[in-house]
Structure 1
Amino acid sequence: MTLQKNRPSGGPAHWDDVEIGDAVHLRRGGRIEYAGRVDNRTADGAVVWVLSDGGRRQLFHVADGFELTVADPEGARHADN
C-alpha cells in the first residue's frame, strides 16, 4: 500500500494515513533507500520521522521525492501503541 495522496490543488502528496509504529519503506527511483518504523509525524502528514532498526532517526518530507509504503500492511502497527 502506498501512502501518498495527491491534494486536489495539485500540491505535494501527503502521508496522512501512516501511523506511529508502522513499519515502512521509503523508495526513490524504485529502490528502497530507507526502512524502519514511524517514530513520529506531523498532523498533516507532510513530515515523518523514521527510526531504523539500527537506531538512526531520519526526517522525511513529502517534497523530498520519496514514496512511502507500509512494509507489512497487515501487522505494521505495534501492539503497545
Structure 2
Amino acid sequence: MSTSHRRGRRPRIPDETADPGIPAEDWKAISVGSTVEVGLTEGHSYVGRIDAKTPDSGVVWVVSSTGLGRQMYSNSDGVRLRPASGQNL
C-alpha cells in the first residue's frame, strides 16, 4: 500500500504581516483624484493624490506630491488616509 502525496502543493503559510489587532480602514468614500494625507504606521506622513483603487476600496495607489513615487496600500496595513488640509474627498 502506498501513501499519496500531492505534488507541487505546499502547505499554506500564514501571513505574519497582518495584524489582527488593527481594524481595516473604510476607504469607500475616497475618490480617485482626491488629495489625502497618508499616515504611515511608523508615525510619518505625507501628502499625495489617489491615483487608483480597487472596486472594493480595499487597495489604493497614492502618488506622492513630494516625489516619493507611487505607493500601494491595503486598508488592513494600518495606514490612515485623511483629506489633506482644505481638501474634500
User: TM tier, shorter chain?
Assistant: 0.5 to 0.7
Percent pairwise identity? 32
CA contact (8 A) 1:21 1:37 kept: yes
The structure richer in strand per residue is 1
For residues 23-68 of structure 1, give each alpha carbon's deviation from its aligned partner in whole angstroms, at most 9, with x where no partner exists. Answer: 0111146944232000000111111000012260000101110111
Aligned length: 66
Match of 1:47 among 39, 53, 59: 59
Structure of higher CA gyration radius: 2
List structure 1 segments (4+ residues) > 4 angstroms apart after TM superposition.
74-77
Tell me the TM-score normalised to structure 2 length: 0.60
Matches within 5 A, 1:56-67: 56-67=69-80
Match of 1:16 among 7, 18, 28: 28
Structure 2 gap segments, 5+ residues each:
1-22
Q: 1:27 to 1:62 in 2, by over 3 A?
A: same
Structure 1 gap segments, 5+ residues each:
1-10
